[in-house]
Structure 1
Amino acid sequence: MTTPVGPVEGVPGDRWRDAWSAALADVEVDVEAAEDLLTRLHDGEEELPEELLDPRDWVAPSLQGPLPMEFSDRARRLLQRHLEVSERLAEALIQVRAQRRALGRMDERAERPPVFFDKAL
């Protein structure tokens, strides 16, 4: 019995599928972490886990050959989740910038000395 061959000559099909499955699983973990961070921030949590605040650098997997057809639905769903999280992150950044600008204006006003008028009524 021969091992099914992947799309690249000399690469066993099982190794090819396992590599793609692991790569998709890594991306799923990253998307889940981003979703968790957004949920916690939205809920107003003050103390966030260290692993959410100091994410690891993403390293592109070195995959040989195209995505196996059996993973296409999984990859599409993952792409959709990734796009949704990216949009939510962009919205959160816009909100943070607006809040920082508003706080900056308040700080500028607070630094001005008060002005009093002495006027008889």
Structure 2
Amino acid sequence: MTTDEWRSAWKAALDALEQDVETVETMLAEEHRLQEIELSSGWTPPANLGPLPLDLRPRADEILTRQLAAAQALSMAMTANRRQSAFAAKVENGDPGKNPPAYLDVSM
């Protein structure tokens, strides 16, 4: 593999990683929460890629930082979603252990 092919392979690999993190960041944005986003098939590093070229290290570090931030945001969103779901279940079913009202007085 020539030096140019090596650099091109790494740039393509970083492009794929960056596209994945952009998809997650888009999904987490307020205006896209209800939009369907295509599932990712996962990232597999290309075979025989070799070590990362030093001049691409800052870009790789920036992508990693964005991935970690997106993972944390996803975790927080899932936790909030579970809490909201549990609250909605209480609102719909009432407090656990208590019987629902038998009638509703609408005379007032």
Note whether the superposition's TM-score is higher than 0.5: yes
Q: CA-to-partner distance for each residue in 1:24-54, whole Å, 9 max, x for gaps?
A: 0011111111111101xx34754x1x4x2x2
**Gaps (5+ residues) in structure 1?**
1-10, 117-121
Matched, 1:15 2:5: yes
- Of 14, 17, 35 in structure 2, the residue corresponding to residue 27 of structure 1 is 17
TM-score normalised by structure 2 residue count: 0.80
Provide the C-alpha distance between the structure 1 equivalents of 2:33 and 2:21, rounded to a whole number of angstroms.
19
Work out the number of aligned pairs and report it.
99
Provide the C-alpha distance between the structure 2 equivalents of 1:90 and 1:102, rounded to a whole number of angstroms.
18
4+ long deviations beyond 3 Å: 43-46
Q: Which amino acid aligns with 1:12?
A: T
Structure number with bigger Rg: 1
CA positional deviation for 1:106: 1.6
Identity of aligned residues (%): 31
Does the CA-based 8 Å contact 2:17-2:43 persist in structure 1? no
Query: C-alpha root-mean-square deviation of aligned residues, in Å?
Result: 2.0
Provide the C-alpha distance between the structure 2 equivalents of 1:80 and 1:44, rounded to a whole number of angstroms.
22
Provide the C-alpha distance between the structure 1 equivalents of 2:32 and 2:57, rounded to a whole number of angstroms.
36
- Local SS of the residue matching 1:55: coil
Does the CA-based 8 Å contact 2:10-2:52 persist in structure 1? yes
Provide the C-alpha distance between the structure 2 equivalents of 1:44 and 1:63, rounded to a whole number of angstroms.
35
